[in-house]
Chain A
Amino acid sequence: MDIVLRTENLTASYDQHIVVKNVNLSIVRNSITAIMGPSGCGKTTLIRCFNRMHELSPNAKVEGKVYLIENTYQREEIDIYSLDPMVVRRKIGMVFQRPNPFPTMSIYENVIAGYILNGIKLKKSEADEIVEETLKKVSLWDEVKNHLHKKGTFLSGGQQQRLCIARALAMKPDIILLDEPTSALDPVATMRIEELIEQLKDTVTIVLVTHNIGQAGRVSDYVAFMYLGELIEYGPTDIVFTRPSHEKTEEFLAGKIG
């Protein structure tokens, strides 16, 4: 299997309160992995350990290892906690629960925000190309190509969220972490994001946190079920959904917990 990210005994806590317990998980390259579980099970914290956002919370602590395998052929495992967090976050992008385009920037600027804010100079033609290509990838180009210089905050919620996905994609990351990206959206916008996620897996590995069982079932190739900070079950989605090997997973899928 072509693994892109692997955790080893990953444990994370806030204020000595353990939220992720001893998780061992391998994410497959160019696949969609859904992490599901009832709220408060630690799924968001888990992915925030992947791009070192967890350590921004006050009194946060991380133990164990997270390895990134960037190259399919060399298979070199890089311990992301030995890198600068800024470097890690450029390799592993993130999209949040609420759409959060930068309020002072235009749609155009939002797409290349990662370059602008990191002080990476782009030629006009390069920038134009990245903007067009990325907006096409998130199927937003046709809707916004005539007002690229309007503020991103004028778009609808679903459009804003696709803009945020474009912003993460534009940095050409190895992995994109989606933290309940549709929880603030209406059903139609949700559907469009789900379609988009499926299209994207050819270019990027996707880790999707969701508390919505249906969503996990619809879009993911692999699914991990977390409960009270522990990884209970992990495997191909069709198997976990049809023949869960753990009682808790079955209860969750049946809607008895969560």
Chain B
Amino acid sequence: MANLSTKRLELSKDKIFNIVLGFSAIVLVLIGVGFFLSLFNASIESIKKFGFSFFVRDIWDPVQEEFGALPFIYGTLLTSFIALAISLPFSLAISIVLGEYFRKGLFAEILRYLTELIAGVPSVVLGFWGLFFVVPLVRELEIKIGVPPYGVGIFTASLILAFMIMPYSASIGKDAMRLVPDEVKEAAYALGATRWEMIKKVMIPYARSGIIAGVILSLGRALGETMAVTMVIGNYHGIPENIFSPGNTIASVIANEFTEATGEVYLSSLMYLGMTLFIITTVVNLIGRFILKKLQH
């Protein structure tokens, strides 16, 4: 009978095990739901006071307790899209080189490591480097073209962002290119296409949705990137006049002001900014992942 009772024990351990597994999944879901609710709850003062007009107000005045997100939303979108535009030719080139010209071998390995490892460099280190290396270069450029030589600003931030997001779109783009079946490529060659014509007319169209997904996911990265941007964007609260002007992104404003925010509305407005950033990046990421998932099926 002792044997039988240990068997019962094993059975109940199985039940406990299953409960633990299910419970951990529930904890994860609660973290996700709690995330949004906490942000919303912390933003409520600001939401009550400014509502949706928060997004179109061009004012950030802690003294008068008047807050609006427009300059930061503008700064976030501007830096992210400029970064995308700068990085795209490079990431496409890497995708094609690693996805077609050099699929294996030492050169491919080295190139892949060198292009992907920059994503592993901590953001704060890139910001620091940017401050001491990129900022002086941009300042020289600004003197040459005759704009105020701040050095820091939207353009500098976009440049550094471009380095940071390039590996993401390159890596996903490369995978998409490699998914193009050999038969499809051979069909193009059989019709007399050169390698480049095959790439342009067959591979890129075939891998299009993967490339787009990579671009969207790297956009998601750029939108929320904080430290490097905070260090080189210039921390200016108005709407930047041109791409060389200093500015702020949603993330950089939060990083700069959170610990010094006094007053309920001030802190709550920063939370409102955080919630806005959370929603924008989540939507962008989910779109990117949705495209990727459709691609895999």
Contact = CB atoms under 8 A, between A and B. Distances in A.
* A and B touch in their complex, CB below 8 angstroms: yes
Interface of A: 84, 86-87
8 contacts: A84-B7, A84-B8, A84-B10, A84-B11, A86-B7, A86-B10, A86-B11, A87-B7
A128 B10 CA distance: 27
Contacts of A84: 7-8, 10-11
Nearest to B10: A86
A84 B10 CA distance: 10
A202 B29 CA distance: 56
A86 B7 CA distance: 8
Contacts of B7: 84, 86-87
Contacts of B8: 84
Contacts of A86: 7, 10-11
A82 to B, nearest CB: 12
Interface in B1-23: 7-8, 10-11
Contacts of A87: 7
Nearest to A84: B7
Interface of B: 7-8, 10-11
A interface: dominant SS: helix
Question: Which 8 pairs, one residue from A and one from B, show the smallest C-beta to C-beta distance?
Answer: A84-B7, A87-B7, A84-B11, A86-B10, A86-B7, A84-B10, A84-B8, A86-B11
Contacts of B10: 84, 86
Contacts of B11: 84, 86
Nearest to B7: A84
Given A84-B7, A86-B11, 6 more contacts: A84-B8, A84-B10, A84-B11, A86-B7, A86-B10, A87-B7
Nearest to A85: B11
Nearest to B8: A84
A86 B11 CA distance: 9
A182 to B, nearest CB: 33
A87 B10 CA distance: 11
B144 to A, nearest CB: 63
A258 B147 CA distance: 83
A33 B112 CA distance: 57
B263 to A, nearest CB: 57
B208 to A, nearest CB: 37
B5 to A, nearest CB: 11
A32 B213 CA distance: 58
A87 B7 CA distance: 8
Nearest to B11: A84
A87 B3 CA distance: 10
Nearest to B14: A86
A84 B12 CA distance: 12
A118 to B, nearest CB: 9
B205 to A, nearest CB: 40
B14 to A, nearest CB: 9
A84 B11 CA distance: 8
A73 to B, nearest CB: 21
A47 B193 CA distance: 57
A16 B8 CA distance: 30
A206 B226 CA distance: 66
A84 B3 CA distance: 11
A84 B4 CA distance: 9
A84 B9 CA distance: 11
A230 B7 CA distance: 34
A176 to B, nearest CB: 22
A174 B108 CA distance: 57
A23 to B, nearest CB: 28
A76 to B, nearest CB: 16
A79 to B, nearest CB: 15
Nearest to A118: B10
A116 to B, nearest CB: 15
A86 B13 CA distance: 13
B242 to A, nearest CB: 61
A46 to B, nearest CB: 26
A87 B8 CA distance: 11
A87 B11 CA distance: 11
